[in-house]
Structure 1
């Protein structure tokens, strides 16, 4: 295992893995920046827009810190500079997904005025549906607040495609709390369809649900 030399001045001063992890990513916004980059690289302005509420100078500071710690790297391409996770930074997917699952009861209280970005489903859905597999592979689209995400499920489990090149045959259009509630096993298919709209094959929707949950006999509008 490669040794990592810490660069931060502030520390809990404890010989504990959790404490040392928090020394690196425990500052406000750090884990949310990692969340933004888990689906793929982003430009600075894209991070500003998606995060919302963070000052420009603070985002600059946080990115510099995460880069110094070996979690984030800058990539220069035709589109300019984009920020991406390093392989070590990408290793934060597992604990972040665990936080998503742990937070499910907190999410069931509703948005309560909280902001939302459809891109966040690319992290939340694989976390909530981690045990779901399919052979042959299947896919379903989720249309949320004007954006389309495509959930692919195969033998290796679920993954979400952001900004897909094509529209899948089956798409559920609903508010984010409906899609998250369905994935977290807090809503039935009937409840989700009553609050949203399904175009396509309801069997696809049934197939991606966590084991043991109820299914519905509702027939979707074929339009």
Structure 2
């Protein structure tokens, strides 16, 4: 299996059937929290699409961020801590995230897509290995400002090393990313949507036992569903 890291979505070859999309802060950690709270997760490409979906399904909840901020009218922020505390059992949550979700939407023509962050590295590595793919694209989307996302790129390299059995040092990455500008929101007392606990929820290694895969829901929107490594074969 050959794994290649892409920071530019346009550079991902159409011939690559299996894609993994990184988002460290905070989309995929939030998605796991929502699912583990008993809800289904659907993905909307932007706040406008989410609002249109909500108009058709007013009982669905909107969660996420756009340019790092919770959009007006959303029910939940892009926060694993706060979503875990919410009563979401048997609900449907539409998740928006300005870096990660548009990447998923752009790459939907590829056969299989796996979201990843530090919390599900081993589960996703096992899913990729079980897919029997010859080539895998590891995508590290840019940040909200269009600039390179260092945390996503580092996470992509971490996953590549995990699959290829090269050494990784999570402790060093944890300390380095804790002091990066992208993590400043977790220290900002004015940011009630980004509690300090979110940093550990996003960075804790292998906190999740299962991978997530993107599927098409009955409503046409991408959905995230947990898969066991043993069922990750193509």
Do both share a fold (TM > 0.5)?
no
Report the TM-score, using the length of structure 2 for normalisation.
0.26
Which is greater in Rg? 1
Higher relative contact order structure (alpha carbons within 8 Å, sequence separation ≥ 6): 2
